[in-house]
Structure 1
Amino acid sequence: MGREFIDMFDEWAETYDDTVTGQDPQYKEVFDKYNEILQAVADAADGYTLEFGVGTGNLSEKLLAKGLDVTGIEPSKEMREHASRKFPQLQLVDGDFLSFPVPGHEVSAIVSTWAFHHLTDEEKEQAISAYAKLLSKGGKIIFADTVFSGAEGRSKLIQEEQDKGHDRLVKDLTTEYYTTMQVLRNIFQTHGFHVTFKQMNRFVYLITAEKA
């Protein structure tokens, strides 16, 4: 998952939970309906689950509460330490979307929230190709992330945030690797997935891809 962003993740670890609960005005809309979105991802997961980009463990909590066997994968040492303190029962390893310990058995679900955009489009395809080999038939990839409807939608959303003076959010939207629904749809379909997109807030879509 974009190891070039590790320093940012480490720095964000202390304030991440404050940000996702709406205490940072610049990111309030990005994390609108945060708990509802996490629950939607957890509800769609079954069986042995890999979670990428665990962060401070908020999705992990919901997966564990469902009784799932979960392996959490997180590249940030600071984030891992926060998640481990909160949920010592969570199996947590150092890794990212492209480099992680491969489990010795089939995976039923691969989940992630607010993280897949840290990969370039080429890296996203590499990741989906690898996951297709890990997942059992009918297995699912369930991601919640910011996705643009297209080039026009990207420009419009960024301009609206510039007009609000949300400089940090605009920097994120223009320097991280946010993609479009069509690009993601093509990647998933190329690797044998049926994919759907459900808009959850102004920025975030629930992306559900099922292996044929």
Structure 2
Amino acid sequence: MGREFNELFEEWSHSYDQTVSGDDAEYKEVFSNYEEILTAVADRAKGTVVEFGVGTGNLTTKLVDHHLHVIGIEPSVNMRKIAQSKLPNVKIIDGDFLEFHVIEDIDTFVSTYAFHHLTDEEKGIAIAKYSERLNPNGRIVFADTVFMSDEAKQDMITESESRGFNRLAEDLQREYYTTIPVLKNLLEKNGFTVSFTQLNRFVWLIEAQLKGEKNHD
């Protein structure tokens, strides 16, 4: 369920904001255009929003600034504490992509830099659950590292190793980064139409909408 990475995030919570701001050379390209990526997700959210992987609350802040009703889901105790201190009026609860106790009707599921913590099998289970929980005009708006193909992923691992970015190379092999064709298939078979927009060398915006919705954006 992605919780196998909790220990990493407990440790990373204290320096996460410095990493996403570009202080870590290995991850500078991963977090390139970070603020714009968060804004792109927030711009496409609507209504009552469930955010997975709140982290330190950076996307949450933008969602609140967009006057959206946000319920945050975060498995890391330290991350939750940091986010809650920034956003005392937002409901932020323990949970993950597969286990979340939200009773409200949901219009949008959002997440940034987190869906890769699930295996492809778990991604499919999660997406099926989202299709059942969303309101009729619901949508998923995720931004995450995905690749055009398995070959493209391996090329990025090889490049990272050649640049001496060993932590990044290990990360790309350890976690469950998937491909666009796999995600497209999982979403479409659960009743979504989906588009992908590349936002930096690593991150793509994934917009999935339940079929039958008339898009007025």
Same fold (TM over 0.5): yes
**Corresponding residue of 2:157:** 158
Partners of 2:138 and 2:78 in 1: how far apart? 31
- Determine helix, strand or coil for the equivalent of 1:157: helix
**Corresponding residue of 1:3:** 3
Q: Which amino acid aligns with 1:197?
A: F
**Corresponding residue of 1:30:** 30
What is the RMSD computed on CA atoms of the aligned residues?
0.7
Identity %: 53
Partners of 2:67 and 2:149 in 1: how far apart? 38
**Corresponding residue of 2:58:** 58
- Determine helix, strand or coil for the equivalent of 2:194: strand
Q: How far off is 1:139 after superposition?
A: 0.9
Partners of 1:151 and 1:101 in 2: how far apart? 34
Partners of 1:173 and 1:208 in 2: how far apart? 23
Partners of 2:82 and 2:163 in 1: how far apart? 32
Q: How does 1:80-91 map to 2 (within 5 A)?
A: 80-91=80-91
Q: How many residues of Structure 1 are paired with residues of Structure 2 in the alignment?
A: 211
**Corresponding residue of 1:113:** 112
Q: Mean alpha-carbon deviation: is it higher for 148-157 or for 42-51?
A: 148-157
Q: How does 1:49-198 map to 2 (within 5 A)?
A: 49-103=49-103, 105-198=104-197
Q: How far off is 1:176 after superposition?
A: 0.2
Partners of 1:186 and 1:102 in 2: how far apart? 27
Provide TM-score, normalisation by structure 1: 0.98
Q: Which amino acid aligns with 2:52?
A: F
Provide TM-score, normalisation by structure 2: 0.96
- Determine helix, strand or coil for the equivalent of 1:29: coil
Q: How far off is 1:106 after superposition?
A: 2.4
Q: Which runs of 5+ in 2 are unaligned?
A: 212-217
- Determine helix, strand or coil for the equivalent of 1:209: strand
Partners of 1:89 and 1:65 in 2: how far apart? 13
- Determine helix, strand or coil for the equivalent of 1:207: strand
Q: Which amino acid aligns with 2:68?
A: L
